Copies of this chain bind each other. A is one copy, B any other.
Amino acid sequence: MKKDSKLSSVLHVLLHMAHSGQPLTSEQLAAFLHTNAVVVRRMLAGLRELGYVDSVKGHGGGWSITCDLKQVTLRDIYDAVGTPSVFAMGHRVEDPQCLVEQAVNQALDEAFRDAEALLIERLSDVTLADLSDDFNRRFRIQSQA
């Protein structure tokens, strides 16, 4: 299964935006991701609607962060990019008549449900500010080397 990297990508550009004093254009953000500007606009459209970022057209325009990094968690961003499906495994048939398949589905569902809940909990524990701090730490270490 081809993996969805929207969450990873959005977080990446958000941090670049956070560390830039001025708006960044879709082209600039796309360069960070080695991709196309249209992909960036699509990715960020949802976040703009939710008020996490803003975009400005024309000269000097571009994207900037409009939320408090300390208040927004990775879980919020996960939701903002459309709560992509967590697991790469699924049931063969979603609502089977077969009693055997019902038993299998339920057993798997329980395991997946618990794992997903833990994932969401972990994502809720990390704010964008935490990520930003981690980046700054890495930057200091690399500068010393």
Interface centre among A12, A102, A106, A138 (most CB of B within 10 A): A12
Q: How far is the CA of A107 from the CA of B123 in the complex (A)?
A: 9
Q: How distant is A111 from chain B, measured CB to nearest CB, in Å?
A: 4
With a CB–CB cut-off of 8 A, which chain B residues contact A85?
1, 3, 88
Q: Which of B86, B101, B111, B142 contacts A88 (CB 8 A)?
A: B86
Question: In whole angstroms, what is the CA distance A3 to B123 when docked?
Answer: 23
For residue A99, CB closer than 8 A to chain B, the reply is yes
Across the interface, do B130 and A119 meet the contact criterion of CB distance under 8 Å?
no
Copies in the complex: 2
Which one of B84, B98, B106, B126 contacts A89 once the chains associate, using CB atoms below 8 Å? B84
B104–A12 touching, CB < 8 Å: yes
Chain A interface category by residue count: 35 or more
A33 at interface by CB-CB < 8 Å: yes
B4 touches A90 (CB 8 A): yes
Tell me how far the C-beta of A114 lies from the nearest C-beta in chain B, rounded to whole angstroms. 6
CA distance A107 to B126 in the complex (A): 8
When the two chains form their complex, are residues B90 and A5 in contact, meaning their CB atoms are under 8 A apart?
yes
| Interface hits, A40-92 → B, CB 8 Å | 74, 84-92
